[in-house]
Amino acid sequence: MAGILVYALHYEGQINKNSLGAVSEGARLASELGTECHAIVVGEKAGLPDDLVGSLGAYGASKVFRVDGPEGLAQPVVDAMAKVISDNGHEYALFGGGLLGFEIGAGLTARLDAGVCMEVTAVRVEEGKLVAERPILQDSQIADVHYRSGVGVIIGRLNAFEATQNGAGDAAVEDVDVEFAAHSLKASMVQRGEQRGANVNIEDADVLIAGGRGLGKAEGFEALEALAGAFGGAVAATRAVVDAGWYSYSAQIGQTGKTVSPKLYLAAGISGAIQHKVGMQGSENIVAINKDSNAPIFEFSDLGIIGDLNKIVPKLTEAVKAKKGG
């Protein structure tokens, strides 16, 4: 049968939110195509009980394939999906936003000689086929992508697909034995999900002051903390500065971090790469301070200030304090 197979990532007893969105999207598309949406989970069996796996039915999966295998690595999932697709004849493989989906989708592309489109923001049905929309060139254009292969691989952008519980009850669970390729077992997880830096809560803050590489050094965050303090808000960070060890991972916005939508998002020294944008574009008001007038962030900010943040931020902090005090 034709159909859509969605990869569902899980960690510590929960299915990833972007995966749930992909299952919902897969179910919507499958019903329009007159076919079924299935999901696949790969991991240690103890972490994939029937109730967790079956709960994907609520998001629209009619069946879930459960594969006992290593967690957190892409290549065993490529083997598992290739087998399930070849046994069941799925026409599309769908992934929610995130890092593993890129890796698995890419591996599957090679394995199945498939067409692939990544960073997909919307999918529609046209003449019985799926057409993916992908923003390109810093989101200045949107391309339609048509598949001309037996299997089409669709990798969603972070938060592109909304998780909706439109399904009917629990999904059937089918255990599948997969013989993993030799190379798929040559990478092994030593430690997964290490949290670096202090645990901070940024998701509930009405005001977020976010810092990027433009701060120049870790100490640059002190001025942002003062500004956040004046607003009664919290401080967030880009991946570049978190990877550099300047700030906590728990405060990171974007692709492999948090998604936020505060009333005010003030970005200081952030260029505005797509991987950052996808985590904060839902903010009600976006203010950007950057010395580079060509920074992409000015394309999607409501107020842009071209200037030196080291001069502006301390004065702004004083002014906010004065305003609040007055």
Partner 1 sequence: MKICVLVKEVPDAAVEKRINPSTGRMDRSGEKNLNPFDTHAIEAAMQLKEGGNMEVDEVVAVTMGPESAVRALHKAVSLGADRSVHLTDEALAGSDVNGTGYALAQALAKESPDLVLLGQQSDDGECYTIGAVVADHLQMPSLTQVIKIDVEDGALRCERQAEYGYDTVQVQLPAVISVGDAINEPRYPSLKAIMGAKKKPLETLATGDVGIEGDRVGFENARAHCNDFKAPPAKSAGQIIEDEDTGETVEKIIAWLDERKLIA
Site for partner 1 in 52-71 (CB under 8 A): none
Q: Is 315 in the site for partner 1 (CB under 8 A)?
A: yes
DSSP string, 1-46: ---EEEE--EETTEE-HHHHHHHHHHHHHHHHHTS-EEEEEEE-GG
Angle of helix 99-112 versus helix 74-88 axis, rounded to 10: 50
What is the nearest approach in angstroms of partner 1 to the Cβ of residue 4?
16
**CA–CA separation, 199 and 292 (whole Å):** 32
Site for partner 1 in 83-112 (CB under 8 A): 98-100, 102-107, 109-111
Q: Which stretch binds partner 1 (CB under 8 A): 27-35, 37-45, 86-94, 186-194?
A: 186-194
Site for partner 1 in 135-174 (CB under 8 A): 135-149, 152
Burial class (CB in 10 A: 0-12, 13-18, 19+), 111: middle
Q: Is 244 in the site for partner 1 (CB under 8 A)?
A: yes
Q: Which stretch binds partner 1 (CB under 8 A): 7-15, 20-28, 83-91, 217-225?
A: 7-15
Which residue, 142 or 172, is less far from partner 1 as judged by CB?
142
Q: Which stretch binds partner 1 (CB under 8 A): 31-39, 51-59, 162-170, 185-193?
A: 185-193
What is the Cα 289 distance to its own chain's centre?
A: 25
* Interaction pattern, residues 188-217, with partner 1; x per rule: CB under 8 A: xxxxxxxxx---------xx----------
Residue in the structure block whose two tokens are 């020294």: 269
What is the nearest approach in angstroms of partner 1 to the Cβ of residue 62?
26
What is the nearest approach in angstroms of partner 1 to the Cβ of residue 250?
9
What is the nearest approach in angstroms of partner 1 to the Cβ of residue 164?
21
Which residue, 172 or 306, is less far from partner 1 as judged by CB?
306
The DSSP symbol for 255 reads T
Q: Which residues on adjacent β-strands are paired with residue 234?
A: 208
Q: Is 260 in the site for partner 1 (CB under 8 A)?
A: no
Q: 234-244 burial string, b = 16+ CB within 10 Å, else e?
A: bbbbbbbbbee
Site for partner 1 in 262-291 (CB under 8 A): 263-264, 274, 285-287
What is the nearest approach in angstroms of partner 1 to the Cβ of residue 213?
10
Q: Mapping DSSP to helix (H, G, I), strand (E, B) and coil, where does residue 129 land?
A: strand
What is the nearest approach in angstroms of partner 1 to the Cβ of residue 290?
11
Say if residues 113 and 34 touch (Cβ distance below 8 Å): no
Q: How many CA atoms lie within 13 A of 210 on its CB side?
A: 40
